[in-house]
Structure 1
Amino acid sequence: MQDDEATAEATRIEDGRRLFAGPVEFLLSVAELHQLPAADLPEVAFAGRSNVGKSSLINALTGRKALARASVTPGRTQQLNLFAVGQPPCLRLVDMPGYGFAEAPKAVAAAWRKLVNTYLAGRTNLKRVMVLIDARHGLKPNDIEMFDQLERAAVNYQIVLTKADKLPDGGSAMRTRSPPRRRAGPLPTRSS
């Protein structure tokens, strides 16, 4: 039985690798919900504070260096950016604006928050949100607010620790509190 489970797991991993190694393309940027495509494909969104590595993780998952535009400037992603995965597309990835500090006018940042909050609360095909946490800084109050919002909206989420390789010990001792109950543990990631 264990051999069957191991084989099934290896098959799922290989299927995922092939999916993300295949065609992936930028679909569109959305500033308002009515611009979203039909809710006909499952979506996985990437949320987190500004500059936590959302765009970089999408690039790493897809094996592309510049699919999602990453920047050192907080608040670079200002809309929901959607990417179609597969040919024909079978999944969409959604790169969301970061929460917290952003080098943008307050009214613009407020519009992002409204867009993100409405998307998270009402998108029926949103299957999971990957909530990225910078391992160097741990959980912040706005991360907890995001968890609470996702819980209220009954949206599945996964915590992903980023920049663990930048910790003095290389990430072996994560500086975060325990993740919220009822969720899988964090997934540490490395930038290299």
Structure 2
Amino acid sequence: MAAPNFSTPIERTADELEAGRLLFAGECEFFFGAQQLGQLPDPDKPEIAFAGRSNVGKSSLVNALTGRKALARASSEPGRTKQLNFFDLAGRLVLVDMPGYGFAKAAKSVKEDWQEMMFAYLRGRPTLQRVILLLDSRIETKASDIEVMDLFDKAAINFQIVLTKCDGLKPGPLARKLESVRALAAKHPAAHPEVIASSSETGLGMPELRAELTAFALPAIG
């Protein structure tokens, strides 16, 4: 098997991009929130989870992907929300909004609880297809980001890095950021080789990410 290519962007066909557009233009509704593993809904559809540090723009990205303004809502107190939020996308895919991590003001016990619950979810969820790990393009990668990547490696869960807020960078700095993050991803066995640059404000990267995730969805009916 050829080694993953961490340097060359993946090209999508027009059909793949259109399939992604159609899926994410469909109905998307919140249907379950779980604060404990025993409360998880039945695993009956493919799931894509979204993870990232508090204030990385996770809620904004989920809203932009689905074309909604307030489907996912950011907590007013980062680090307080510990709930896994489940959204049904057109009956074909489930989007899972994971609690943010890396919150400096949170108590040590809260951080430990997050890691324990998230690791148990990641390792034990049979329908989980991929985790989208969001990193803020404007700041350096934090130690907590590396710890989470190590957690994904340990859980043997495929994850893909998406850079957020890329509209805040000029082309040169963005290209250098992409290069450095690709090099970081290459060090992690569970990482997907493609890093996607995105912006919830301009729509950058949304068609490509929709196309990528649509590959995991159940077939359309009719």
With the shorter chain as reference, the TM-score category is 0.7 to 0.9
Aligned residues: 184
Q: Which residue, 36, 45, 54 being the options, matches 2:58?
A: 54
Give me the identity figure in percent. Answer: 52
User: Does 2:84 correspond to 1:80?
Assistant: yes
The 5 Å alignment of 1:134-145 reads 134-145=136-147
Q: Deviations over 1:96-118 (max 9, x none)?
A: 01111155544344333322121
Query: TM-score under structure 1 normalisation?
Result: 0.85
Would the alpha carbon gap of residues 69 and 135 (structure 1) be closer, same or farther in structure 2, given more than 3 Å must change? same
- Give, as a single letter, the amino acid of the residue that structure 1 aligns with 2:100: G
Q: Paired residue for 1:162? A: 164
Three-state SS of the structure 2 residue aligned to 1:93 is: strand
Q: Distance in 2 between matches of 1:117 and 1:66?
A: 28
Q: Paired residue for 1:191? A: 200
Q: Is the 8 A contact 2:119 2:155 kept in 1?
A: no
Q: Paired residue for 1:31? A: 35
Q: Distance in 1 between matches of 2:154 and 2:109?
A: 26
CA RMSD of aligned residues (A): 2.3
Where does structure 2 lack aligned partners over 5 or more consecutive residues?
Answer: 1-10, 202-222
Q: Deviations over 1:27-86 (max 9, x none)?
A: 111001111111111100001111111111110000000000124642254210110010
- Give, as a single letter, the amino acid of the residue that structure 2 aligns with 1:124: P
Would the alpha carbon gap of residues 121 and 106 (structure 1) be closer, same or farther in structure 2, given more than 3 Å must change? same
Q: Deviations over 1:111-170 (max 9, x none)?
A: 333221211121111100000000111321111111121122221111000112223668
Where does structure 1 lack aligned partners over 5 or more consecutive residues?
Answer: 1-5
Q: Paired residue for 2:205? A: none
Query: TM-score under structure 2 normalisation?
Result: 0.74
Would the alpha carbon gap of residues 19 and 102 (structure 1) be closer, same or farther in structure 2, given more than 3 Å must change? farther
Deviates more, 1:16-25 or 1:103-112: 103-112
Q: Distance in 2 between matches of 1:160 and 1:31?
A: 26
User: Does 2:18 correspond to 1:14?
Assistant: yes
Q: Distance in 1 between matches of 2:82 and 2:172?
A: 31
Would the alpha carbon gap of residues 102 and 37 (structure 1) be closer, same or farther in structure 2, given more than 3 Å must change? farther
Q: Distance in 1 between matches of 2:116 and 2:174?
A: 37
Q: Paired residue for 1:126? A: 128
Q: Distance in 2 between matches of 1:15 and 1:139?
A: 33
